[in-house]
Amino acid sequence: MLIYSKKFLKQFNVYKEEKIDDFIKFPAVDDRSHTMANAIDEFCFQKLPIIVLKDYLERGYSLDILGVFPEIFKLYFYKFNYKNIVEIGFNYNPRVKFYNYVRPLFFVGNNNENEKKIIVSIPPGEDYLKHYTSILRHLINKLRMDEKTIKIFRFPLHEKNITEWTGLNNNFVKRNDIVILGYTEEIENNLNNKMTLESEHYNEFYGSRRYKLNGKIINFLGVKYSYWGNMSKNITNKLLFLGATEIIYSAKLGTLVNYNDIYNKIYSPIEYIVLDYTRIKHKKFKLKNNFVKLFPEFNSGLHCSVPTILEQNYRFRDIVTNLSINSIDNEISQMAEVVYEHNRKNNSDISFFAVHFPTDYVRKYDEKNLDTKFDLSNNRLPLSSSKKRKIINEISNYLHYYLVSYTDLSINNSKIKSEIIPSRV
């Protein structure tokens, strides 16, 4: 169990209470207005201890949402003016994971004014807080309750300094490392017998396994908490500070092109934009993609990142369609933005690319009744998991070829390509 110093806990003296109308800038959605159609309720409610929350809400408990690392809140809840708290047992994803497993914790108790409270402690990050707040707002609206009773508390220093207090340092990442993020564990398991383990390091928040390949270091960096949305910028900034020469991010995204691409096609964008519902947060920009240079067939064009899933209503879909955006997630463009600005300001040439696969399709208004078979409400079912493993294996093969080509320019590309990448069946 981690014990934190009084100096560390002082960061929570600085907080900002957000009003929900200002914090969530898009309207509430339902199955008629959201691009997930009739899957939207299932998507939201599978992430919540829905029966218990509904019971307490109907008994007059109000909802407080805090952007505090859950285990810290659990230890020091009294520092946040709560008492008599009891954790609500809930396990959203029973699969055992070594990385990306820290999720919100739910509690009931009283504040110091003896008001009855449901408290949700969410790993820090403005976008992640927006994501879960929008999901909880969806529940409140479904119950026909007043969403303005929701209280939201952000702790800016806790967010800003996350890579410091979690100890992401040069024990994990060293100068000139090629860093792989995202499905780190899965890709490493596919490739570890093809490289030589150089070093490994772990703490409560990260794990790093560094391999040597043709004299270069390939660093599989795992993060145990969610760096959803804008928190990915903190991670990327720290990797640049520590001297990474290339950052490769492999995970999942939504396609706006073709629902048949779900679990079947690799996407690697070359152009990026950051949106917050209808507002452009960072205008369109390009960043060199070395992976697409080697595999032009995976060029997926323009990608956008947004804070939440629930903002993706049909109005939003019209906007991204008009912008000719082909794919969507919460991190890629924000990470690319950090590298783009770093290269621009320092006249450097740090490489970044994403190599992802779609798990869902963002419907257009006239596609409300389209059956896509797969979406974010069923992405953990056996068939989805099987298809996911298959496409990650394929991505691993292409990354292996890319890394071999990148680290040894003297190789016969056509020969090594045929050896590493099996033909698709």
Compute the distance between CA of residue 161 and CA of residue 157 in angstroms, rounded to an integer.
Answer: 6
For residues 181-200, give the mean pLDDT.
Answer: 97
Strands 271-276 and 279-286: antiparallel
By the 8 A CB rule, do 98 and 185 touch?
Answer: yes
* pLDDT, tens digit, 9 for 90 and up, residues 73-100: 999 999 999 999 999 999 876 667 899 9
Compute the distance between CA of residue 294 and CA of residue 338 in angstroms, rounded to an integer.
Answer: 23
* pLDDT, tens digit, 9 for 90 and up, residues 213-222: 999 999 999 9
Q: What does pTM read for this prediction?
A: 0.94
| Phi, psi torsion values for 92, nearest 5 degrees | -65, -45
Compute the distance between CA of residue 53 and CA of residue 143 in angstroms, rounded to an integer.
Answer: 11
* pLDDT, tens digit, 9 for 90 and up, residues 234-292: 999 999 999 999 999 999 999 999 999 999 999 999 999 999 999 999 999 999 999 99
- Is residue 425 very low, low, confident or very high in pLDDT (cuts 50, 70, 90)? very low
Q: What is the pLDDT of residue 4?
A: 81
Structure tokens at 247: 């950052």
Structure tokens at 231: 């928190």
**CATH homologous superfamily for the domain 167-224+227-420:** Nucleoside phosphorylase domain (3.40.50.1580)
pLDDT over 70 (residue 414): no
- Domain locations in the chain as residue ranges: 10-158, 167-224+227-420
Alpha carbon 285 to its chain centroid, in Å, reads 21
Structure tokens at 190: 């596919």
* pLDDT, tens digit, 9 for 90 and up, residues 302-342: 999 999 999 999 999 999 999 999 999 999 999 999 999 99
